[in-house]
Amino acid sequence: RSPSPPFMTSTLQQEASRKLGFTAQRTMQAAQKLYEGVDDQGGLITYMRTDGLYVSPEGITQAREVIAARYGPAYVPEQPKYYKTKAKNAQEAHEAIRPTNMSRAPETLRLESDLQRLYELIWKRTIASQMESAKLDRTTVEIEEPTGQTALRATGQVVTFDGFMAVYEEGRDEKQKTGEDDEDDTTRLPVLKEGATAKVDAIRTEQHFTEPPPRFSEATLVKKLEELGIGRPSTYASILTTLRDREYVRVDKNRFYPEDKGRLVTAFLEQFFAKWVEYDFTAALETRLDEVSAGQLDWKLLLREFWQDFHAATQAAGELRTTAILDALNESLGAHIFPAKEDGSDPRECPLCHIGQLSLKTSR
């Protein structure tokens, strides 16, 4: 098993959420302090807003020296490990997030709690990224009853050389539960011989149902933003903060739940500004901005193209009557606001007169 690459902004926020319980904003605040330096120690980590996985030759050399000294030559691979980001629209203008001095181990520092924990996470991840891969033996056992009509399978693995796992293992998000077998490769199996007879101790039948994917946590939402090409390393934390501050979502047990206010805003934008809230709009715009930065595209042309359509849409939206907006929102949110009734009757029928229709209205 190969180690994970060093941190970039998105993966640092995800891992700090999984392992430390930090919000993206809390992670970035602590990282900012580590970058600026504490007391007279100078900057402790490299720049924390980055989508790059590159580590300088000096950083790699330091890491390999630390690995050899602390864990022995067996943990140092023959060749340094190099990584390349798979994120959409990655600019890779900065190094990966790593300690500025790899020999500065976490236990040698005395920092406030958040800074200490985040520095240790960054240090371990960086060191592990340059260590030898772990070696594991995977075993699959198949058991059949004499007629061969029923077969059972168990899978497990044993670590024969821990490699980078001596320092660090990446956290995991919740897996979606399905009706399929969910084998746990970490299960330890007893020593067995092929053809041996197994004694049946007990038989237990279980039924599994496919469940919907879990709600987004900060870690999984940042990961999804990165996959869709929405935002940049410098904006992930502010996006999540804005959603909470404007009460578009609420957070319960580190899970995001959409609020009615957020549903209304989303429905309005999808109805009247559909082009600008499509998932690929931000990614496409970021690509064109990169072209402007590289001198391949005139910024005035890009701005003109954007502004003409957007200005027309805002003008049209400004001239809409309230009834037209409410009709559009009723159509879009009807199933959510007026869920179907068990008896099959019209969910929007007025409960008093049984003639009128329930509808969204503006408050007085």
Q: Which residues are catalytic?
A: 47
Give the whole-angstrom CA distance, residue 208 versus residue 199. 26
3-state secondary structure of 207: coil
The token pair at 30 is 């602590």
Q: In the 8-state DSSP scheme, what is residue 349?
A: B
The token pair at 55 is 């580590």
Q: Residue for token digits 């004499």?
A: 146
Give the whole-angstrom CA distance, residue 223 versus residue 229. 10
Give the whole-angstrom CA distance, residue 262 versus residue 269. 11
Show the DSSP H helices in 40-105 as ranges.
57-71
3-state secondary structure of 290: helix
Residues paired with residue 143 on neighbouring β-strands, in sequence order? 152
Q: Are 76 and 61 in contact (CB under 8 A)?
A: no
Q: Are 156 and 185 in contact (CB under 8 A)?
A: yes
